Amino acid sequence: MAIRFNEPNFSFIIETLTDEGEHLCYWRIDQSITASYGMVEYDRIHNQINRHLDHLTKRLGLKFGVIASSSMAVIDEHIKLFKYEIS
């Protein structure tokens, strides 16, 4: 069986707030980065997500923020530990 290189292995939990700061929901973005990611890859993927959230903020008028980011396994445990309801 072939190894797939585009499987997600890194995740972000995003919180959505109204313009007044009222919590709306949590959601998750899963990304694929190299298995031996270093600071350059880590910074690249965070910058990409932050640009995406910035565009959404400008377009929708909501506020978005990354509240956690790590490998998918760590984020899965984070979700269970803090009982986040991912929409």
Q: By CB neighbour count within 10 A (0-12 exposed, 13-18 middle, 19+ buried), where does 15 fall?
A: middle
Beta bridge partners of 63: 17
Q: Name the residue ranges covered by the structural domains of the chain.
A: 10-82
- Quick one: tokens of 15? 């919180």
From first to last of its 87 residues, the chain has per-residue pLDDT tens of 555 667 889 999 999 999 899 999 999 999 988 867 788 888 999 999 999 999 999 999 999 999 999 999 999 999 999 999 998
Amino acid at 64: F
Query: Can you give the pLDDT at residue 4?
Result: 63
